[in-house]
């Protein structure tokens, strides 16, 4: 059975089309048409004041729905996190496992690989944030587990892309902790490498970009500030045309003026939104546990007892609204930064778009950019 979505404008990921509907068959977009074709077609009537947009793609999700991937590294947990974020328009995500014990690291990979095989589950790989980080820029990551890579680590990582057919493995590392030869081997094996939790110099980061680094994790956070004589990793991220930057648009992690600076430097096709969400997303809890310590939910922040930020208290629909409010962009630009741009960064070109051949992942949004309905592979969730 084919399904025809119609009744409101459609944002394709690049442009907004009026008077056009979306024909879906077997979970993928078949065509964009002004009216349903002849034959047996199920029609989905959307609210006239809505906007149909591609489902969001989030590359950095630590938890949601009361579940934290580090605390429960299982396939069920990864799928529960994806389910919690789906209500906020995110139809594809990378469950993110931050620096932890080596045994849990491997359990998390096993769990994400299993979850990624569930059709419509929303898990499209894994993001390993650490443990190869700069100790002084580790943020809330547990110091006892931060380390340089061993030969065993590298051998393990080199085998990961094969475990995620059709999915992606994103590895956040500090470029000053990993040598160029290792970066090149990891990139050639198919891992996506991002710089983060780092105090790398501009020159070191530029060299890492030559060796396959392509992204930067939560730009400006857990890295030194941009300086006039030593632009550092942030300066390299902003000035290089080769890298994509993830950024948290909650008004807490990055000031609005700096968000606008990043947008001016990178342009809307190289800057994308991430949530860095933790387990409270989608719940009303006011605290949770990480590494055996309590993290408090206060005034839109997630903080340790001594005030260190521990992820973000935001969902992707709120991040889209934050981009509009703080960056001064229009809804189309903000929606692209939540869907098409991160999908392009991951090399998953059938996500984040409403075009023939793309997966039928949609979010119906109100004029206020709140979520009304969500579909994954053409099925309402």
CATH number, residue 10: 2.30.40.10
The reply to whether 165 and 300 lie within a common domain is yes
Residue 39 pLDDT:
86
Where the chain has pLDDT below 50, the residues are: none
3-class secondary structure, 43: strand
Q: 309 a known binding residue?
A: yes
Tell me if 129 is assigned to a ligand binding site: yes
Looking at the structure, do residues 99 and 138 belong to the same domain, yes or no? yes
Number of structural domains in the chain = 2
Neighbours of 27 (CB within 10 A): 16
Q: What is the DSSP string of 142-200?
A: -GGG--PPPHHHHHHHHTSGGGSTTSEEEEEE-GGGS-HHHHHHHHHHT-EEEE-S---
Give the span between the Cα atoms of 260 and 128, in whole angstroms.
Answer: 28
Q: 310: annotated binding-site residue? A: yes
One domain for residues 185 and 321: yes
Q: Is residue 140 annotated as involved in ligand binding? A: yes
Residue 267, Ramachandran bin (φ over 0: left; ψ between -120 and 50: alpha; else beta): left
Radius of gyration of the chain (CA): 20
Q: What's the chain's length in residues?
A: 381
Integer Cα distance of 352 and 268 in angstroms: 14
Same domain (yes/no): 229, 376: no
List 206, 250, 276, 313, catalytic entry: 276
Per-residue pLDDT tens digits for 5-25: 999 999 999 999 999 999 999
Tokens of 223: 């890295």
Give the domain range for residue 12: 2-53+357-380
- 221 annotated as a binding-site residue: yes
Active site residue 276: yes
Predicted confidence (pLDDT) per residue in 136-193, tens digit: 999 999 999 999 999 999 999 999 999 999 999 999 999 999 999 999 999 999 999 9
Is residue 351 one of the residues assigned to a domain?
Answer: no
């Amino acid at each position: 059975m084919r399904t025809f979505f119609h009744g409101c404008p459609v944002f394709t990921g690049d442009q907004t089309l009026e008077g056009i509907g979306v024909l879906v068959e077997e979970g993928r977009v078949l065509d964009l048409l002004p009216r349903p074709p002849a034959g047996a077609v199920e029609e989905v009537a959307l609210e006239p004041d809505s906007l149909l947009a591609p489902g969001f793609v989030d590359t950095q999700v630590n938890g949601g729905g009361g579940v934290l991937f580090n605390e429960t590294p299982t396939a069920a947990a990864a799928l529960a996190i994806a389910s919690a974020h789906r209500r906020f328009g995110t139809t594809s995500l990378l469950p993110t496992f931050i620096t932890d014990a080596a045994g849990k690291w491997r359990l998390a990979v096993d769990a994400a690989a299993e979850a990624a095989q569930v059709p419509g589950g929303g898990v499209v790989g894994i993001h390993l944030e650490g443990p190869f980080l700069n100790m002084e820029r580790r943020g809330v990551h547990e110091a006892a587990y931060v380390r340089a890579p061993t030969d065993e680590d590298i051998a393990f990582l080199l085998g990961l892309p094969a475990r995620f057919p059709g999915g992606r493995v994103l590895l956040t590392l500090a470029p000053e902790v990993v040598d160029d030869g290792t970066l090149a081997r990891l990139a050639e094996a198919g891992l996506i490498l991002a710089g983060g939790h780092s105090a790398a110099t501009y020159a070191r980061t530029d060299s890492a970009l030559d060796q396959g680094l392509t992204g930067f994790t939560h730009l400006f956070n857990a890295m030194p500030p941009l300086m006039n004589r030593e632009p550092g990793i942030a300066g390299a991220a902003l000035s290089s045309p080769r890298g994509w930057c993830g950024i948290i648009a909650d008004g807490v992690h990055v000031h609005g003026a700096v968000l606008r600076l990043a947008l001016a430097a990178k342009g809307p096709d190289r800057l994308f939104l991430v949530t860095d969400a933790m387990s409270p997303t989608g719940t009303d809890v006011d605290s949770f546990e990480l590494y055996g310590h309590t993290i408090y939910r206060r005034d839109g922040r997630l903080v340790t007892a001594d005030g260190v930020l521990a992820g973000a208290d935001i969902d992707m629909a709120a991040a889209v609204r934050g981009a509009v409010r703080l960056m001064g962009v229009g809804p189309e630009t903000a929606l692209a930064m939540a869907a098409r741009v991160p999908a392009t960064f991951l090399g998953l070109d059938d996500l984040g778009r409403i075009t023939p051949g793309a997966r039928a992942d949609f979010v119906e949004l109100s004029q206020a950019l709140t979520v009304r309905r969500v579909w994954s592979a053409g099925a309402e969730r």
